Amino acid sequence: MKSHVRVAVIGGGVVGCSVLFHLAKAGWTDIALIERLELTSGSSWHAAGGFHTLNGDPNVAKLQSYTVQLYKEIEEISGQSCGLHITGGMMLAGTPERMDFLKLAHAKGRYLGMETEIIDAAEAKRRLPLLDERHFLGAMYDPLEGHLDPSGTTHAYAKAARSFGAEIYRQTRVVELNTRPDGGWDVVTDKGTIRADHVVNAGGLWAREVGRMVGIELPVLAMEHHYIVTEDMPEVVEANAATGKELIHVIDFEGEVYLRQEGKGILLGCYERHGVPWAPDSTSWDFGPELLAEDLDRIGPSLEVSFKHFPAMAKAGIKRVVNGPFTFTPDGNPLVGPVRGLKNYWAACGVMAGFSQGGGVGLALANWMIEGDPGFDVWGMDVSRYGDWATPAYTNAKVRENYSRRFRIRFPNEELPAARPLRTVPIHGGLEAENAVFGASYGLEYPLWFALKGTPAEETVTYRRSNAFPVVAAECRAVRAGVGLMETSSYGRYEVAGPEAEAFLESLLANRLPALGRLALAPMLNAKGKLIGDFTVGRIAPDRFFIVGSGPAEAYHLRWFERQRGGRNLTIRPMTADLAGLAIAGPKARELLARLVRDDLSTAAFPFLSIRRMAVGMVPALVSRISFTGEQGYELWCAPDSQRALYQTIRDAGCDLGLVLFGSHTLLSLRLEKGFGIWAREYRPIYGPEEAQLKRFVRLDKGEFVGREAAKAERGEGGERRLVPFEVDARDADAFGDEPIWHGGQVVGWVTSGGYGHTVGKSLALGYVPKGLAAAASGFEIEIIGERRDARILAAPPYDPSGSRMRG
C-alpha cells in the first residue's frame, strides 16, 4: 500500500471501478481504489445485470448510452469478458397514456441520436412470442438494451484500470477521513493511513457512512429489491429456436416488472408499490455479500400481473429468488461531483442502475477532477442539486415514492406528493387559503396557479392542456391588463460584500457590475465559456451586492462562488433564510406600489433596473425594478417575519386595481411571449452565451473574467446553435421541453421550454437549432406526442418586442 496517492477511490463496486478506470485512462497516476472486502461486495455482485439507455433526463440518457458502448472497450483493454448480451429491449404500453409516454421518450431519443422504434402490439408479440398481446397497445423498441455479468464487468473495469497503472487495495476498510492542512486527506484504514490529494466516495451501500466520516448527510437510501429466476421453460427454448436469437428484454409498465432470458428460463424483477427500505439509519460494516430474506407475498401482485401478461410464466417453476439492497436518491439519479464546503471530496454514489450509468458517472467525475469540468451536462445528477434540507427522513419518503413509481408515468405537469410540505414560506397558509396549487422546488413549496374558489386545488395530470389552462389564461390577462402578485422565495439570493467583493464579482461574472442603486443582468461562465448561471446583480452599497438567480441551483452556485473566491477579503451569504420575496407585475404595478411608499417611482427617479431600500407600508424592503413578465415589475425582498404584513399590505392596496395572485404557470406563459430564458432550461452548461442569445450581457472589453477567452472565441466563430422563439401549430397539447425540432425531414434541434402564450393566442416554444438555420423562418416541425406540428421561428418575441411596456 502506498503512503501517498493522488486519488483514493473508496469502494470497489462497479461505480468505484469505473471512476478508477476513467482516471487511469486519462493518464492520472498514483491512484488507488480501496475496498473493504473483495470487489463487488456491495450491491454490485447480485445485480440482475440489465442495461438500457432510457432516462427522463436526456443528458443522463446520453451518459447511459456512453456506458453501454464502453463495454466492448473495457473488454478489449482488460481481456476480461463482461458477459455481454445485447439483445435489444422493449418497453410495453398497456394504456394510451403510456403509449404517449413512449412516443415522447422516442422523440427525445431522436435528438440524442438514439435509434428507438415505436411498434404496435402485434409486432411486439412477434419480437417476444411469450407475451399476450391483448394486454398491450404497443411498445418502444431499443436495440441498445441487454444484460451482462455484473461481476465480470466490475472486474473488467478494475483490470483495465490496473493496466494503466492504477492500484487496488482489497480487504482494506476506510475507517476515518481527516482533512490535512495542505488541503488533502488522511485516509485512515484498518491497514494504516494513506495520504490522498483527493477522495472519491463510491461507497455504494455505505455511501452515507463514508459521507458521515466528513460530517455530511448524503441523500441516499437503499431499498430491498427482488428478482426471481425460473427453471428452464420450453416456451423459451421454442422461441429461441424459432427466432434463432435470445429473447429480448422487456419492461412491462403495467405489471411494474422487467424480464429477460437467463439460461433457458426467465429472470423477472419487480418494482412493487410498497417497497421496503433497507438499513434506513445506517449500514452495518459487517454486512457482506449476503442476500436478504425473500418475501414473495410482497411481490405477489406484480407476479400475478406478469402471469397474465406472459402466460408461460404462470406454469414455470421458480429456481432462485434474489432479494438484495441497492441505493436510490430522492429523484432516482446519481449523486456526482465535488461536495460543497469540502476540498477535494467527490461523490460518485446513489447510482441506482450501475450497469446503465456507471460508465457515464466514471467519465464525468474523472473529467471533473482532471479538467475542473465534467465535460457534459450533468446537472441532473450533480450532488449539489440537494441542500441540507434533504434530511434522512425526507430521503426516506422520497426514495420510497421513487421506488414505487419506477415504472410509472411521470406527467410533465405532475408534482409528486411525498415529503411535502417541507419548506414553506411565511404566507404559505394565506396562499393555500386562496386555493393555490403548489409545486416543490429545492424542497420549497411555491404556487403554480390559483384554482378557482370552490374548485379543488388540483391539476389533472396529462400530456395535453390541463384544467389549469383556462385559469392560467385568466391570470395572464389580469397581469397584462392590470397588476398581479407573485411569491418569489423560490429564487436563489445571495449577498456578496466586503472590500474585494467588486473585484471578485468582476472576475466571476461576464457583464460589467452595475453602479450604486442599479441592477445588471449577468451570465456566469465556466472556463470553457459555457453558461453556469444567469443572475440579476444589484449594487446596494459601494462594496455590497445583492444577487438573484435560480433557486434549485443554490448549492451549485454557492459551490462555484466559494471555489472561485480564493483568499479574497469578502463574505458570501445565501439569503434564503434572511429574505422572503414577492413580486408585482402589470401596467398598474407602479400605481400600486406608489400607494405604499414615499419614494418617487417615476421612470426618471426609479428607472428600469434600479434597486433601493424602501419602506413599503410598514415593512422595510429591498425593492428592484425588474420584469420577467414583460410588464412594469417590482421585486420586493423583506425579512421573512414581515412577509405576511407586506403581502397583506399589497393585497389591501391593490383591491380596487383588480390585483390578482399568479403563479409560475402564468409566469411561463408570460416569459415565453417575451422570449425570456431561465436556468436549467434555456441556460445550461452545454450552451455558450452567443448560442443562448445572451451576447449583450457579455462584456469582452471589461477585463479578465472566468470564461472570457472561450467567450471571445465563441463570438469569433459564432458557436454551433442558436436559441430561437417558435410559434407552433399545436392542437390540444403544447410543447413543454425536450421535444425534437425537425427541418427538411431531419431532427435538427430540441425544445427547451414550451407552453401557450395566452395574450398572443399562440402556442410557443423556445429551442436550439443549428445557427445556419436560425434565419430560416419556416419549414420547421416540432414533434409533440408523436405528431410533427408545423412551427415557425419568430423574428422577434411575440409580445411587446421593443420592451417599452416594462421599461416605461
Ligand X SMILES: Cc1cc2nc3c(=O)[nH]c(=O)nc-3n(C[C@H](O)[C@H](O)[C@H](O)COP(=O)(O)OP(=O)(O)OC[C@H]3O[C@@H](n4cnc5c(N)ncnc54)[C@H](O)[C@@H]3O)c2cc1C
Q: x/- binding map, residues 303-322, to ligand X, per CB under 6 A?
A: -------------------x
Please select the residue that binds ligand X; options are 157, 185, 278, 326, rule is CB under 6 A: 326
Among 41, 333, 435, 752, binds ligand X (CB under 6 A): 41
Residues linked to residue 748 through DSSP beta bridges, in sequence order: none
Pick 403 or 535: Cβ nearer ligand X: 403
CA distance 134 to 137: 8
Question: Taking the complex as a whole, how short is the minimal distance between the CB of residue 407 and ligand X, in angstroms?
Answer: 13
Q: At what angle do helices 14-25 and 354-371 cross, to 10 degrees?
A: 40
Spell 157-169 as b/e; 16+ CB within 10 A means b. Answer: bbbbbbebebbbb
Enumerate residues 6+ apart whose C-beta is below 8 A from 551.
441, 442, 444, 490, 491, 492
**219 part of the interface to ligand X, by CB under 6 A:** no
Tell me which long-range contacts 608-612 makes (C-beta under 8 A, separation of at least 24): 608/806, 608/807, 609/514, 609/518, 609/519, 609/520, 610/517, 610/518, 610/519, 611/517, 611/518, 611/519, 611/538, 611/539, 611/540, 611/546, 612/517
Query: Beta partners for 192?
Result: 189, 190
From the list 8-16, 409-417, 466-474, 734-742, the region that binds ligand X by CB under 6 A is 8-16
Q: How far is the CB of 395 from ligand X (least distance, A)?
A: 16
Give the per-residue contact string, 340-369, with ligand X (x = CB under 6 A; - = no): ---------x-xxxxxx-------------
Q: What is the 3-state secondary structure (H, E, C) of 10-56?
A: ECCCHHHHHHHHHHHHCCCCCEEEECCCCCCCCCCCCCCCEECCCCC
Binding segment toward ligand X, per CB under 6 A, in 13-21, 364-372, 506-514, 742-750: 13-21
Between 121 and 381, whose beta carbon lies closer to ligand X? 381
Cα-flanking dihedrals φ and ψ of residue 351, to 5°?
-90, 105
**Residue 181: CB partners within 8 Å, gap ≥ 6?**
none
Among candidate residues 631, 540, 638, 628, the one with its CA nearest the CA of residue 596:
638
- Residue type for position 194: I
Residue 442 makes contact with ligand X by CB under 6 A: no
Asked if 16 interacts with ligand X (CB under 6 A), we say yes
Are the C-beta atoms of residues 584 and 636 closer than 8 Å to each other? Answer: yes
What are φ and ψ of residue 393, in 5° steps?
-70, -40
Stretch that binds ligand X, among 36-44, 138-146, 409-417, 739-747 (CB under 6 A): 36-44
**574 prior amide bond cis, ω within 30:** no
277 forms part of the interface with ligand X (CB under 6 A): no
Minimum Å gap between C-beta 128 and ligand X is 18
Residue tagged 410495453 (cell numbers): 92
Which residue number, 173 or 477, has a Cβ lying nearer to ligand X? 173
Burial of 86 (0-12, 13-18, 19+ CB in 10 A): middle
CB of 223 to ligand X, least distance (A): 9
Contact flag: residue 34 with ligand X (CB under 6 A)? yes
Distances (CA, A) of 29 to 16, 75, 182: 16, 21, 20
Pick between residue 162 and residue 173 the one whose CB is nearest to ligand X: 173
Smallest gap from Cβ 202 to ligand X, in A, equals 6
Stretch that binds ligand X, among 30-38, 103-111, 542-550, 710-718 (CB under 6 A): 30-38
The single residue among 7, 9, 31, 50 that binds ligand X, judged by CB under 6 A, is 50
CB of 548 to ligand X, least distance (A): 37
User: For residues 34 and 659, which CB has a smaller minimum distance to ligand X in the complex?
Assistant: 34
**Shortest separation between residue 345's beta carbon and ligand X, angstroms:** 14
Residue 46 binds to ligand X (criterion: CB under 6 A): yes
Query: Applying CB under 6 A, which of residues 164, 227, 328, 768 lies at the interface with ligand X?
Result: 227
Q: 322 vs 575, which CB is nearer to ligand X?
A: 322
Closer residue to ligand X, CB minimum distance, 44 or 367: 44
Q: State residue 323 phi and psi, 5-degree precision.
A: -125, 115
Interacting residues of 733 by C-beta distance below 8 A, sequence separation 6+: 463, 464, 465, 784, 785
- Is residue 688 within 8 A of residue 621, CB to CB? The reply is no
Residue 551 touches ligand X, criterion: CB under 6 A: no
What are the beta bridge partners of residue 295? Answer: none
Q: How many CA atoms lie within 13 A of 484 on its CB side?
A: 28
Binding flag, residue 205, ligand X (CB under 6 A): yes
| Least distance from ligand X to the Cβ atom of residue 511, Å | 41
The yes or no reply on residue 23 touching ligand X (CB under 6 A) is no
By CB under 6 A, which span of 324-332, 364-372, 513-521, 737-745 interacts with ligand X?
A: 324-332
- The stretch among 93-101, 159-167, 197-205, 500-508 that binds ligand X (CB under 6 A) is 197-205
Backbone φ, ψ for residue 759 (5° rounding) = -75, -40
Nearest distance in Å: CB 206, ligand X: 4
Q: How far is the C-alpha of 239 from the C-alpha of 31, rounded, in Å? A: 48
Q: State the number of binding residues for ligand X (CB under 6 A).
A: 42
Q: Nearest approach, Cβ of 521 to ligand X (angstroms)? A: 40
Question: How far apart (Å, rounded) are the C-alpha atoms in residues 256 and 227?
Answer: 12
β-sheet with 519-525: strand ranges across: 519-525, 531-541, 544-549, 492-497, 571-574
Of 43 and 642, nearer to ligand X (C-beta) is: 43
Task: For residue 20, state whether it binds ligand X (rule: CB under 6 A).
Answer: no
Complex with ligand X: residue 148 or 524, whichever CB lies closer: 148
Q: Is 695 in the site for ligand X (CB under 6 A)?
A: no
Smallest gap from Cβ 209 to ligand X, in A, equals 7
Strand-pairing partners, residue 806, are: none
Q: Of the listed pieces 47-55, 179-187, 596-604, 701-709, which binds ligand X according to CB under 6 A?
A: 47-55
Contact between 202 and ligand X by CB under 6 A: the answer reads yes
Under the binding rule (CB under 6 A), the answer on residue 324 touching ligand X is yes
- Provide the binding-site residues for ligand X, judged by CB under 6 A: 10-16, 34-37, 41-44, 46-51, 173-174, 202-206, 210, 225, 227, 322, 324-326, 349, 351-356
